[in-house]
Amino acid sequence: GNVHIVDDSFFNTKFNMHNDSLMTLITDVVAGKFSEQNFALNSEQERAFRIIANYISLPHQKQLLMYLGGMGGTGKTEVLKSVLAYFSERNESYRFKVVAPTGSAAALIGGNTYHAVIGINDRQNIDTISEATIGKVRDNLKGVQYIFLDEVSMLSCHDLAKISKRLAI
């Protein structure tokens, strides 16, 4: 895929989806209507959320590859919660999977380890995979179109290559 550098005007563009209910839902999520603490997103969090929500809402989109970075406490988890709320309110939670490299990191975001979801065993060669594991991975990812990989800084290039290879099955 291509990488595009865009200026700030791209993020301030109001996408016209011709669907007022989706636009209202996006606005409600940004305002914190569905968050446990009624937490409204700040401008940077809103920008990230709107990129994802607009992308999800438009049909026939190519793969979205997006890095959401920042120091601890900058609100990445709030963006994730907003995306989860958006999928949930659309009755499409099955389209989104949250994974992390460790069990404790996965538990903090209500997800699973990527090892469990995509069947990676660090003690086995990534090229060695049983039919049973392939079936389990396909079941785990049935209907999934978006994967949020949290704590990506904990991963090596080798780990990312294994994840990519497994997802290409």
Tell me the per-residue pLDDT of 124-146, one tens digit each, with 9 for 90 and over: 777 788 899 889 999 999 999 99
Q: What is the pLDDT of residue 12?
A: 57
Confidence (pTM): 0.80
Burial state string for 18-48 with b = 16 or more CB within 10 A and e = fewer than 16: eeeebbebbeebbebebeeeeeebeeebbeb
Let me know if 97 is exposed, middle or buried by CB neighbors in 10 A (0-12, 13-18, 19+). Answer: buried
The SS3 call for residue 99 is strand
Q: What is the pLDDT of residue 27?
A: 84
Q: What is the pLDDT of residue 8?
A: 62
Q: What is the pLDDT of residue 7?
A: 60
Q: What is the pLDDT of residue 55?
A: 86
Q: What is the pLDDT of residue 33?
A: 83
Question: What pairs with residue 147 in β-bridges?
Answer: 97
Residue 30 structure tokens:
């940004």
- The Cα–Cα gap between 152 and 19 comes to 34
- Ordered per-residue pLDDT tens for the chain, 169 residues: 566 666 665 555 555 566 788 888 888 888 888 777 667 888 889 889 888 988 888 876 678 888 998 888 888 888 998 999 999 989 999 999 999 999 999 998 899 999 999 999 877 777 788 899 889 999 999 999 999 999 999 999 999 999 998 888 7
End-to-end CA distance of the chain: 19
